[in-house]
Amino acid sequence: MKKVQFIDGPNLNMLGKREPEIYGSMSLAEIHENVRAHIKQNELNFDVNFFQSNSEGEIVDCIQKSKDTCAGLIINGGGLSHTSVAILDALLSIEIPKIEIHLSNLFRREDFRHHSYISKGVHGVICGFGPNSYVLAVEGMVKLI
């Protein structure tokens, strides 16, 4: 069975507690459970692995490892999306399908959030649909793999 790696960046472990007016009230674990339920309900033929880190280096390591073990990668880089050339380089170094996601609409936020370095290293970007961004990414990944 094919596996899709989800990577969640800094502060996403605080979802449900952190700025619910922007990010919603669901925890990251609840969002991940919604993804699993969607996959099961729609009988999609792949498994998912979830990884969250507040460390840029650990995220780079996870991206690099996924090239040999996964059919696709979905990443919510959090704040590192707007600053990390290292994560961009890691994404560019692997040739599996990749999707970037964000809970909020970056273009309705502060100007510095309007640019994501990691977008250049992925096949598509989904933002602004709250927790549904994760489910929409699953549907996009089905088409890519």
Q: Taking Cα atoms as reference points, which of 71, 114, 67, 123 lies closest to residue 90?
A: 67
CA distance 98 to 93: 12
Choosing from 32, 102, 117, 134, the catalytic residue is 102
Catalytic residue list contains 23? yes
Tokens of 60: 């780079």
Choosing from 23, 32, 117, 134, the catalytic residue is 23
Could you tell me the CA-to-CA distances from 108 to 27, 38, 113, 114, 133 in Å, in that order? Answer: 22, 28, 9, 8, 16
Specify the DSSP element, H or E, that contains 36.
helix 28-41
Catalytic residue list contains 123? no
Task: Point out the residues that are catalytic.
Answer: 23, 102
